[in-house]
Amino acid sequence: MAKEVVKQIKIQIQAGKATPAPPVGTALGPAGINLGEFCTRYNDATKDKMGDVIPVVINVYEDRTFDFVLKTPPAKELIKKFAKVPKGSSKGSKEIVGTLSKDDLRKIAEIKMPDLNAYDIESAMKIIAGTALNMGIKIEE
């Protein structure tokens, strides 16, 4: 018989830098899982993605064991990385703070494709372009 999931926790952590200190400890401590074991497994799984923020979904079972699923980095983080800007605009699309090429947009869409609700790469590119525009990032033709 399959184990019953008692709790599902979603958290975003820097790749390869999980520690039992907050925010990881604060989020996972009440669930009763072994924080050291989680941090070790997460850091091993994300060591090739250092520098990115990686969302993770943790399933906690009734016997306090757990497993987790890594997601793709958030679109806003990828857009900031490719546009080489520290943060998006505080005024949204009214203030342009950076630019992205169509090639960069395609690369971001290909990375995000597994987590997006899109059937093809063009649809995914439109979703990412909308996010970029709301961040004040212009898409160059």
Question: pLDDT by residue (tens digit) across 92-128?
Answer: 888 899 899 999 999 999 999 988 888 899 999 999 9
How far apart CA 139 and CA 100 sit, in angstroms, is 5
Domains 5-70 and 75-139 share a fold: no
pLDDT band at 41 (very low <50, low <70, confident <90, very high): very high
Q: Which of 26-35, 82-91, 121-130 has the highest mean pLDDT?
A: 121-130
Whether domain 75-139 has CATH 1.10.357.10: no
The sign of the CA dihedral 61, 113, 128, 111 is: positive
In words, the CATH class of domain 5-70 is: alpha beta
